[in-house]
Structure formats: C-alpha cells, structure tokens
Structure 1
Amino acid sequence: MQSHYDLIVIGAGGGGYPAALRLAQSGRQVLMVDEKGNLGGNCLYEGCVPSKSVREATVLWNQVARAGFFGLDAQRVQADWAKIRAYKDGVQTRRYQQHTQEIAKTPNLTVIRGQASFTDSYQVQVDDWDHHDQFVASATDIIIATGSEAQRLSIPGFDLTWNHHDLFAWNDTQPTLPSDMVILGGGYIGVESASMLADLGVNVTIIEMAPTILQGMDEDLVQAIRGHVGQRVKIVTGVMVEAIAENNGQYVVSGHKVQDAQPIQFRTSRVMAAVGRVPSIPSSLHLEKTGVYYDRHGITVDERMRTNVPHLYASGDVNGLSMLFHSAVRMSEIVAQDIMLGEDMHDSFNPHEMPTTVFSRPEGLAVGLTRTQAAQRGMAVEEYTRAMGTEAWAQIAGELDGFMKFVVSRSTGRIVGIHGVGVDAAALSAAAHMAVRLGLTPAELGHMTFPHPTQFEILDRLARSI
C-alpha cells in the first residue's frame, strides 16, 4: 500500500465519492476510506433510496385502491411487509453492485472498508478492516465527508425508540410493523415516514414540539400537506417530550404542552424518533489534530467547501449547510473543481437554491425563499399561484389537489422561490431548481415549453399568467 496520495477522501457518501471518482479519472491517485466499503453512504444504506422504495410500494397500493377511478376492477391487494422489505433490499443490492462496478472501472482509485483518523492535517491512520491491517497515509488534499447521524434527545428512555435504521436499513429492517406508532418529530423524515406507515395500516401519531410540522417551509405548503396527511395520521404540535417508558408491553411517551405547560401522555406499541440529523464528527476521527474550525453545527467551510486549513475540505452533511444527498453531491463536485482548477474555478455552493422534496402523499417541493424568508432579508416579493388540478395530467391522474407558487422579487422581477404540493411535485422540483438558480423572470420561464400532457406544464403556464 502506497503511503502518499494526491487525495484522501474520508467517507464514500454523496459528499465524498463524486469528487473521488472525478479526480481519480483525471489521473490523480485517490484513497477513499469508508466504514461500509462502498459508495452511497447512509442515503443508500438506510436513508433516501430504501425509504423511497418503501414509499413507492405504498403509492402503488394506493393507486390500486383507486382502480375504480380508471375504470378498472382490481382484485383485493394486500400489503406484505416481508415482501416489501425484500423489494427494498433488492433495490439497495442492485445499487451496491452498480457502485462496486464503478469502483472497479475507475483507475487510480483505492477504496478501503475501514476507519481513518487524523494524526495531523496531512496524515491519517487507516484501519483496513478487510485485511486486518493498519497504515499511515498522507495526501496533498483531504476531503472530510463523514456525513450525519440521527439526532438524539437527552431524555429518559430515548434508547427505546426506533429510527430510520429500523425501517429502512439494508438487510436489517425490523421484520414486522406495529399496529400503532408514535413518531417524535414533524420534519420531512417524520412526515414521510408517517405517511407511508399509515398507508400500510399503522395507526400513527406525530408529536412535534414546534407550532407546526415542516417548520420553516412555505405556510400554504405546510397547510396543504397537513390537511391531507392529517386525514390518515394524528398530528399533535406544541408538545415537549420529556420521557419514554416501557409499561406492560406498551410505551408511554410523557411530556407537556408548550403553550400552557399542561402534562400530556401517549400510549403506543412503538416509538420512532425522527428529530433531525446532526453532522457526524466521531471522536475516532481526531479532527482536533488538524486545526480545522468546527462546532456542533458542523465543520466551518466557505462557498467552495474549503476549511480554514487550505488543503482540507468538508463536503456533505458534515458541514451542516444543506443536509440532502443531492446537495452533498453538488458540494463534492465543487470540491473536485476547486482542486483541479484552483483560482480559475468560478463556481460556488448556495444552500438556499437546493431543491427540497417531501415524499408524503401528496408530495411537496420547496426551492429558494418563502415570503417569510424574503422579508427577513428585507426583500419585497409578490406571490403567484396556480392550482395543480387545472392541468391535464392532474386530471388524468385523478389528483386534483395542490398548487404551484412562484415567489418573485419586486425589485428585480426574478423568481426567488418556488413551492408546491400535488401530483409529481418531487419531479417538478428539478425544473424549479433551474429556474431559481438561473435567476429567471416569469417572462423568461414563460418562453419555455414543457411537454403535454405532463404536470410540468404548470410551470410555463403559471409563468405566462404573470
């Protein structure tokens, strides 16, 4: 094993592997160390990919239940959690096999399943778990891409909770689902999980400390999703959870109402924690030996993912800027460009333009600023809205509810935010991202033509109506 590399990447998730592949393909010698020994990070192992696989099964089941709308006489379909798990695991296996092939085809790239620890800002000690070996390697540049981990609450009984691992981990998912569940947290992970579990027949209650679920998102979006998901899920906001206890095979969640401090309890068969994620900076990394600035919010970086130590970069969830897989990939690509081009690189990361999706039923999308966020920046805006159900595709699909909203700057006339709820909202976020990132005006977006009949037509039609 060589001792010096052009680049060492610690972590093979979205914040790490795009840069590793690109720089290795450019001729640089790259060492990537990851505890799973493959690409994809937590997103593939127990996050985005498996959760959306389970969600896809529930969407199809719901479509079958609506077969009569399409003139079909469908036989009764049952949800089999064991078979859904097998389908989910199969999707993950296929992607892991694909990534294994990518690694094998990439010249100049060495991937080790193990752990890396800094000895100083240029060197790491590598524990190679597969070969029971330990060695020290140095590099010209190092990328820290250790991702994030589920946040914990410092309350009695928190260890009794499930989290996303129990529902979505590759080949390690819980074998059965409970009849009922309390989910702590009303962010997008909690709402998505509640929506799909309710579709699988679980009686779900969401408990959120804030006054509303999906805190920080567009108010109309929140109201629309709460209105629909709330028909299948009990949503309780404004509650501070203080303890979880096991009692005769049940779990008791105790807390108090934030507004008046009145005590409140919930009894359930299972508790799941979805109280957010925090940057993962394990003590074993020994980051303190590098001189890099960091705190509980993550490693401090600039718009090019550079830390205060010139040759050290931090991309992905570990810097806390935008904890989304596609954001991590974007950051990683920026790092690759910065290493290859240096001061000739003219690209940067803007977390506010990253698309956010809520894979509930119905779906939601958020790109850019809300009216409230614009006001906080002293920006005067106008909002323009069009109903999802006015488009042919929504009518064909029989999903008429929801809306698309543009937030437009009064001073520049540019679209600074796009938010929506309804059919194909997650896919629409891609086009919304381009409009916001490119700083298009409604007139410029209106010059584009989206294919008929697709839900994308709502974008150019709303633009032309302004």
Structure 2
Amino acid sequence: MNSYDVAVIGSGPGGYVAAIRCAQLGMKTAIIEKYSTLGGTCLNVGCIPSKALLSSSHHYEEATKHFEEHGIEIPGEIKVNLEKMIARKQAVVDQTTGGIDFLMKKNNIDVYEGLGSFIDATHIKIEGKDAGEIEAKNIIIATGSKPSNLPFINLDKERIITSTEALKLKEVPSHLMIIGGGVIGLELGQVYRRLGAEVTVIEYMDRIIPTMDAGLSKELNKVFKKAKCNMMVSHKVKSVERKGDEVVIKAENKKGEVIEFKGDYCLVSVGRRPYTDGLNAEAAGVKLNDRGQVEVNEHLQTNVSNIYAIGDVVRGAMLAHKAEEEGVFVAETLAGQKPHIDYNLIPGVVYTWPEVAAVGKTEEELKEAGTEYKVGQFPFRALGRARASGDIDGFVKILADKTTDEVLGVHMIGARCADLIAEAVTAMEFRASAEDISRYSHAHPTFAEAVKEAALAATEDRALHV
C-alpha cells in the first residue's frame, strides 16, 4: 500500500492547487479524481468552457451587429456553426486539463483515477481505473459541488437540462427558458441569445443576481432587456413538464397569478449543492451539516484533526478562486506556516458583457449594519476608452467609510470589470482609502480610469470627467 503525507480527494481548482502547494512544501502528495480528466467542474463543465462559448458568441455578435459601424464590411451572410463552436470550446478544455496533467507530473504528484472513499481517517479506498487503497497522514476533501434542482423537476438532460448539457447542445434553441437569474443562468442565457435564441429568465427573487449590489442588478437587467430577453423576476416556478419537444413551465407571480411559459429547452440554474456522494465521510467520523457541507473550523479542519476540507464542499461562496486560496491555506497550515484568507475580499464576477464584478460590502449590507458610508460613482460612457471601443454601458461604484474614507466595497459593471476588480481587491487588502486610489496614476485612455474617477467622486465629489 502506497503511503503519503497528504492525499487530496478531488482535482478541481481547490484540489489540484492544494496538491501542488503541498508538493512545493516537500510533502509526498497524491490526488484522487473519479473522472478521466483533471480540473473538476471548473475546467471541464464550468468556468473554462462557458468562457469559451461566451467569447465565441461575443465575436459573432460583434460581427453581425457592430463591425459595420467600425468600417468593416463582410460580404455574404454570417452564419453560426454551432458544432464547430462547441468543438473549439472542447479543444480549449482539453488543452487546459492537459496542462493540469503536466503540473502533476512536474511536481511529482501521484494521480489516481477512480472514486475515492474513506475506509477510516487515514485510509482511502479507490474504485475505478486505479483501484486499490492508499494511506495518508493528512487528507484534504475537495470534492466540489453539483448543480442543484427543484424537487418537482425531472431533469431529463435532453430538453430539461443543467449547465453541463447547455455547454454541448447540438442546436441553438428556438426558445431557451432559464429557471434562475444567477451567474450561470445569465452567462449561458447571453450565449444563446447572441446566437439567435429567444431567452426567458424566470427568477424567484425580485431581481437578478440577487446576492450582489442592487445597482449592479438594475444595470445588468437593463442590458438583458435591451437584448430583448424576457426578464421575469418575482416568479415562483410551480411545475415543469416536457411534452415531446416542448417544455411547459408554470410560475406564480407576486399577485398570485399563474403564468405559463413554453419553449423547446429549459435550463435549470438554481445554484449548486456540495458533493459528497460516495465519499463515505462517516467511516472517518467526518461531520456534515444539515446543508450537506463538510463542517470545518477557521483552519478549514474538520472535526477529525488530520482531515481538512476546502472549496464548494464547505461554507462560503462557491468560487474557483476561493477554493484555490483555501487549497494553499491548508497546504501552508500543514507545513506549520500561518496563512491568511480574508473572505470579505474574495471578489465575485459575472462574465456576461458587460462584465459584473464586486468585492467587499454592498450598500444593502452597510445599511443593515448601520455603517455610515459615502458613495462615489462614475459611468463608463464618460470614458474616452469606452467610447473608442463602443463599450459604454455600466459604471464603477466605490463605497467608503464616511469618517475614515477606508474603502468598504467596490461594485462595477462594464467592459473588462473581471480584470479591473483586482485593483479594488489589492487596495482593500492594504486598507486603502478612496483618496489613496484617487491619487495614484491610471494610464489614459483605459477602462481603469473609471476606478480613479469613482474614487475621486467618493473622496470629495470631484470626479474630473462628469
């Protein structure tokens, strides 16, 4: 039986990063993955493939709607070859997951393909290609999450689908109905709307992206409505039925009226659930809570001292980069270091166009806490760079403490916000004030100038370009 200092169960961004960092720190490391490719949900059926399709569909939309105004004329009809688009997406996935294979070899990490389950607190059974048992002094659970469902919906994975099936459709839907106005539903909705599908988003809450700042929700809703998407908020889905190639959804609005929606595909996008199926956690004595999450303390340690858990399977936001931070945190803890994660400063991003990004507290949270704050906001349409590229939708909003001027939250929607948010995270990690951000130079013309201008607006209401 092979013995290790650390064994990681699950090879998503949290798991493979944890394994790499453990190996870097001199620990003999193994990683167990039940699928034939490494990378977990994110690399195989999540972050990476969805971004590939978002990019391809964005190019198509630019070519059909905006090239002419740039003086670019394309003779003949521009068509979508969905099969080729999906094939390109898969090529990106294959290249990315292949890169993880390389990193495992580079760091001398033993990879086991099969389902890993606990025999006891130090022994793991592997069922599958690399069947057998291994022993480890420490074990990291990084088994991730799976799409959630509503109890009355039968997911046939043909017409009533999850995000996994939506990434490999063989046709552009005529009418794609999406249950859930969160990140995944909106990103995939935008992909297929660009490609010609009618799109209806049905959201239980009173706004889309309900966990983010209300200002971002309002602005993104405008973008989707401008694209002629049907945005049905405050609607509670009561039933979903397939009738041949048609799906019928019945939902109740806030007046108590039942509204019927019909389309050829229904994407169920109501969040994700921690995935511990087959883990046999009870054999090791590991405790799960009533939400199915592995319970951990502030060191990401379970109730069994040598077993840790990270990523979507524990509490907190289900984000790949949060899982990565936790993977490094556990590895360094095992090495006797004293790492640090500030969960308030884990950014959230929606990769629609315009992109949506946020870090820190929302206005709603500050109001609820009774914190006195000031707001600085700057519209992208006032930027030279935004006008030059035609990306004028959106704004940057900075929330700062009214007394100390410390930045408490940054919320943005616009071009390249997924990248711009890193500036806000950096500033907040060093407890910068709005004035600090306003006083360092931002290159012109760039989208990043919106951050400086919002900081100026928050400091003394003195934005320069509005």
Q: Give the TM-score of the pair, scaled to structure 1.
A: 0.93
Once the two structures are superposed, what CA deviation does each residue of 1:222-278 show, in whole Å capped at 9, x if it has no partner?
111001112221011111112211224311112322x23222211111111111011
- Give the Cα separation in 1 of the matches to 2:153 and 2:95: 40
Q: Secondary structure at the match of 1:302?
A: coil
User: Which of 232, 248, 252 is the aligned partner of 2:248?
Assistant: 252
Q: Deviations over 1:103-122 (max 9, x none)?
A: 22222x11111011112222
| d(CA) in 2 for partners of 1:156, 1:98 | 37
Equivalent in the alignment of 1:291:
285
Matches within 5 A, 1:35-434: 35-64=34-63, 65-75=65-75, 76-107=77-108, 109-127=109-127, 129-131=128-130, 133-135=131-133, 137-159=134-156, 161-168=160-167, 173-231=168-226, 232-257=228-253, 259-282=254-277, 284-295=278-289, 296=291, 298-341=293-336, 344-345=337-338, 347-434=339-426
Gaps of 5+ in 2: 460-466
User: Could you report, residue by residue, the CA deviation over 1:297-349 in whole angstroms, capped at 9, with x for unpaired residues?
Assistant: 512223332223222111111103120111111111111111112xx41x332
Q: Give, in angstroms, the shift of residue 453 of structure 1.
A: 2.1
Contact 2:143–2:276 under 8 Å retained in 1: yes
Q: Distance in 1 between matches of 2:161 and 2:182?
A: 16
Structure 1: distance between partners of 2:259 and 2:47: 33
How many pairs align? 452
Q: Which moved more, 1:291-300 or 1:358-367?
A: 291-300
Residue 15 of structure 1 aligns to a residue in which SS?
helix
2:344–2:361 contact (8 Å) kept in structure 1? yes
Task: Classify 1:271/1:370 alpha carbon distance in 2 versus 1 (closer, same or farther; 3 Å).
Answer: same
| Shift in Å, 1:37 | 4.4
Aligned residue for 2:111, secondary structure, equals strand
Distance 1:181 1:358 in 2: 20
User: Which letter does structure 1 place at the counterpart of 2:13?
Assistant: G
Name the structure 1 match of 2:463.
Answer: none
State how far apart, in whole Å, the 1-side matches of 2:432 and 2:74 are: 45
Contact 1:367 1:417 in 2 (8 A): yes
Instruction: Provide, for residues 171-196 of structure 1, a one-character-per-residue CA deviation record: whole Å limited to 9, x for no partner.
Output: xx222222111111001111111111
Paired residues of 1:303 and 1:348 also in contact (CA < 8 A):
no
Report if the CA contact (8 A) 2:21-2:332 is conserved.
no
Paired residue type of 2:151:
S
Q: Distance in 1 between matches of 2:383 and 2:245?
A: 50
Q: For residues 37 and 119 of structure 2, what CA distance do their matches in structure 1 show?
A: 24
- TM-score, normalising length: structure 2: 0.93
Amino acid aligned to 1:134: G
Distance 1:38 1:304, change over 3 A: farther
Instruction: Report if aligned partners of 1:158, 1:244 keep a CA contact under 8 Å in 2.
Output: no
The AA in structure 2 aligned to 1:120 is: D
3-state SS of paired residue (2:14): coil
Q: For the Cα contact (< 8 Å) 1:279–1:320, is it kept in 2?
A: no
Q: For the aligned residues, what is the CA RMSD?
A: 1.7
Do the aligned partners of residues 126 and 25 (structure 1) sit closer, same or farther apart at CA in structure 2, a change above 3 Å counting? same
One-letter amino acid of the counterpart of residue 330, structure 1: E
Contact 1:303 1:350 in 2 (8 A): no
What pairs with 1:13-52 in structure 2 (closer than 5 Å)? 13-52=12-51
* Secondary structure, counterpart of 1:119 in structure 2: strand
Offset at residue 463 of structure 1 (A): 2.1
The amino acid across from 1:103 in the alignment is: M
Q: Is the 8 A contact 1:34 1:113 kept in 2?
A: yes
SS of residue paired to 2:242: strand
Take 2:292 and 2:436, find their aligned partners in 1: how far apart are those partners? Answer: 38
CA distance in 1, matches of 2:287, 2:405: 39
Kindly provide the amino acid, as one letter, of the partner of residue 146 in structure 2: E
CA distance in 1, matches of 2:301, 2:447: 39
Higher mean C-alpha deviation, range 155-164 or range 236-245: 155-164
Q: d(CA) in 2 for partners of 1:310 and 1:414?
A: 38
Worse-matched range after superposition: 50-59 or 375-384:
375-384
Match of 1:12 in 2: 11
State how far apart, in whole Å, the 2-side matches of 1:214 and 1:123 are.
Answer: 42
Question: Partners of 2:296 and 2:138 in 1: how far apart?
Answer: 15
Measure, in 2, the Cα distance between the counterparts of 1:156 and 1:96.
Answer: 32
Aligned partners of 1:310, 1:206: CA distance in 2, in Å?
45
CA–CA distance in structure 1, aligned partners of residues 391 and 343 of structure 2: 31
> 1:186 and 1:444, CA in 2 relative to 1: closer, same or farther beyond 3 A?
same
1: CA distance, partners of 2:155 / 2:129 = 33
CA contact (8 A) 1:304 1:331 kept: no
**Contact 1:210–1:239 under 8 Å retained in 2:** yes
| CA pair 337-411 structure 1, distance change in 2 beyond 3 A | farther
> What's the offset of the Cα at 1:39?
3.0
Deviation at 1:291, TM superposition (A): 2.8
One-letter amino acid of the counterpart of residue 362, structure 2:
T
Q: 1:340 to 1:248 in 2, by over 3 A?
A: closer
Q: Percent identity between the aligned chains?
A: 27
Do the aligned residues in 2 keep the contact of 1:158 with 1:243 (CA within 8 Å)?
A: no
Q: Is the 8 A contact 1:306 1:312 kept in 2?
A: yes
